[in-house]
Structure 1
Amino acid sequence: MNTSKPLRRRTRPIVGLLLLGILLSVLVLLGPGLLSGLRNGDGSPLAGPECNVQTPEGGIGLNREEARLATTAVALRARGAEAPDTSGMDEAVLQRLAEGPSEDAGPSLSCRGSAADGLPEQQLTAAGLTPRAERVRTAMTEVFGEQSLGGFLPGGVDRGHGAESTHYDGRAIDVFFRPVSEENRRQGWILAHWLVAHAEDLEIQYVIFDDQFWSAHLPRGRWHDYDAPDPGNEILRHLDHVHVDVLRGGAG
């Protein structure tokens, strides 16, 4: 009588259980580091917080509410106004946002994009902005006070920008920080980070500043290099102003 087949049947479950035990032991020992090391092709975590602030010690994750709170507090303090309570937040986050990116370190805060669907398309108001863009201007004024604004006029603008510019639709605002200097660069990044943190609420589509752009259409929320048509032109490179525009709505 051949007894080899029943023996093999009995050993297969045992071998499987041994392999499963070894795998579980490896996951217990390496699991946290292994999971944290899983990243997209761009180096960002596959899963993580909605927003991230890069500090000298590394990235610190924030949810969107925390990002809105931090950027608003930093903006208000920069102009000497009363700021909301941030006592529960990591001081390294607030310090980094207040100081702005150093040299070529890149933007400090990023938030995952979220381009809302089903928004109605809007027409120009008397100010030359769509209601959506007007709401952004109002929100900026409440936090930053009076600013040097451009890129829109009563009745709309029809020249001075690229052929497909959102300025012609009344969906874009330029906020100027002139002349180009380290202090104005710092102030510009305080605004740019604030806009990104509030992009979902204000239905913002693009933020461009200092050779960088952020887009609501890019779900990972990273900033990207902005390729200006004329690298020698500080205006086209958005070194002297922050550009912000809002979603079109409708089918566009």
Structure 2
Amino acid sequence: MPEPSPSPKRRGRLLRRGAAFMVLLAVAGYLAVQYVTGGPGTPGCAVVSGKGDGARYEFTPEQAVNAATIAAVGTGRKLPERAVTIALATALQESGLRNIGHGDRDSLGLFQQRPSQGWGTEKEIQDPIYASGIFYEHLVKVRGYTELPLTVAAQRVQRSGFPEAYAKHEPDATLLAAALTGRSAATLTCEGLPGTSSAGGTDSVRAALVRDFGQDALQSAAAEVGSAKARPTPAPTVIESDGRTIVLPVSGERGSGTGSGAHERGWQLAHWAVANASDLHIQRVSYAGRDWIAGNTDSRWRASTAPGAAEAESSGPDSVRIVTTH
């Protein structure tokens, strides 16, 4: 005897269960991708280990801009590289390095900070400069944070319901911090293809430098964008006669390890420019005898072909050159 066909009512239940199962699979797949990659988007940037061990992290231009801001705020406060690593790992976990306008309950922004818990207003929290600064303010109050396991230090700031979640981002955050504090030279690259932003040109670059590094870091840039609080510093910016090239002199003691030495400072500014290339329509960045050029398929730092590059390198790198598309 053949098996009787399921009743229409039973078939309906089976179809609904099957559809629910497929939805669950789709959600699980999406969450797995988010867990591994730290967020959606097509990678256009990469950072590699300066140790030559093959470690690599790929990320999007949006993530690159936010990571560069987090690092700039940290080094601007003269905090150690470890602080920047902790901040980057936290933002990777909380938002995938995206400045999002939603989250659990009233959580917002890069670090998913909550206005109701005293982190600031909604507007403040969605300002990456403010959000990074308030994170660091809380981090430095954690006794011995540089010696603690990263996930412990991050948890003491964030009070997350998933205290071990930050640990998985430490390898990627370590690569990013080494590049964006300038300790690891020529390790961060992006395709640099112009995005949807209409910003560009030397004025936009100078304004962005002031935004991320602060008014005291680039006195000449601050003056150009109308800051009343600018004060003289040893590192004014210079615009060359072509109107598309901005020169950032760098100075300090080499090898300080905090991003403030000449070599570290130079690579911090160079990597910052590459991270912001799509947003600010930057075409070329040169430092220490090497060039990054937007649109190269391999996005590598190459030996500079600019006139006088070899002589500049032999006498010691002293400036970062940023060329915009217009």
Q: TM-score, normalised by structure 1?
A: 0.58
1:178 aligns with 2:251: yes
| Residue ranges of structure 2 left out of the alignment (5+ in a row) | 1-41, 79-83, 97-168, 219-234, 256-260
Match of 2:91 in 1: 86
Greater fraction of residues in strand: 1
Report the secondary structure of 1:169's partner residue: coil
Task: Tell me how far apart the structure 2 counterparts of residues 103 and 196 of structure 1 sit (CA, whole Å).
Answer: 13
Counterpart amino acid of residue 61 in structure 1:
E
1:245 aligns with 2:323: yes
Match of 2:56 in 1: 59
Report the secondary structure of 1:86's partner residue: helix
Alignment of 1:41-60 (within 5 A): 49-55=43-49, 56=51, 57=53, 58-60=55-57
Deviation at 1:214, TM superposition (A): 0.9
1:68 aligns with 2:102: no
Contact 2:245 2:322 in 1 (8 A): yes
Match of 1:196 in 2: 274
Match of 1:19 in 2: none
Report the secondary structure of 1:52's partner residue: strand
Alpha-carbon spacing, 1:103–1:149, altered in 2? closer, same or farther (3 Å)? closer
Task: Tell me how far apart the structure 2 counterparts of residues 236 and 169 of structure 1 sit (CA, whole Å).
Answer: 26
Match of 1:109 in 2: 188
1:149 aligns with 2:146: no
1:132 aligns with 2:201: yes
Counterpart amino acid of residue 73 in structure 1:
I
CA deviations on 1:162-214 (whole Å, 9 max, x unpaired) are: xxxxx222111111112572322112212211111111110111111111111
The correspondence for 2:242, drawn from 153, 165, 169, is 169
Alpha-carbon spacing, 1:105–1:87, altered in 2? closer, same or farther (3 Å)? closer
Deviation at 1:232, TM superposition (A): 5.9
Contact 1:133 1:171 in 2 (8 A): yes
Q: TM-score, normalised by structure 2?
A: 0.46
Instruction: Tell me how large the CA RMSD over aligned residues is.
Output: 3.6
Report the secondary structure of 1:49's partner residue: coil
Contact 2:289 2:304 in 1 (8 A): yes
1:207 aligns with 2:290: no
Alpha-carbon spacing, 1:110–1:206, altered in 2? closer, same or farther (3 Å)? same
Contact 1:226 1:237 in 2 (8 A): no
Deviation at 1:77, TM superposition (A): 0.5
Alpha-carbon spacing, 1:192–1:54, altered in 2? closer, same or farther (3 Å)? same
| Residue ranges of structure 1 left out of the alignment (5+ in a row) | 1-47, 120-130, 153-166
Task: Tell me how far apart the structure 2 counterparts of residues 193 and 104 of structure 1 sit (CA, whole Å).
Answer: 11
Task: Tell me how far apart the structure 2 counterparts of residues 223 and 100 of structure 1 sit (CA, whole Å).
Answer: 13
Deviation at 1:104, TM superposition (A): 11
Deviation at 1:227, TM superposition (A): 3.6
Q: Identity, % of aligned pairs?
A: 26
Deviation at 1:103, TM superposition (A): 11
Task: Tell me how far apart the structure 2 counterparts of residues 196 and 103 of structure 1 sit (CA, whole Å).
Answer: 13
Deviation at 1:137, TM superposition (A): 0.3
CA deviations on 1:49-105 (whole Å, 9 max, x unpaired) are: 311110245111112222222121111101128978624263333333433499997
Match of 1:163 in 2: none
Alpha-carbon spacing, 1:210–1:180, altered in 2? closer, same or farther (3 Å)? farther
Structure number with greater CO (CA < 8 Å, separation at least 6) is 1
Report the secondary structure of 1:234's partner residue: helix
Task: Tell me how far apart the structure 1 counterparts of residues 315 and 286 of structure 2 sit (CA, whole Å).
Answer: 9
Contact 1:208 1:243 in 2 (8 A): yes
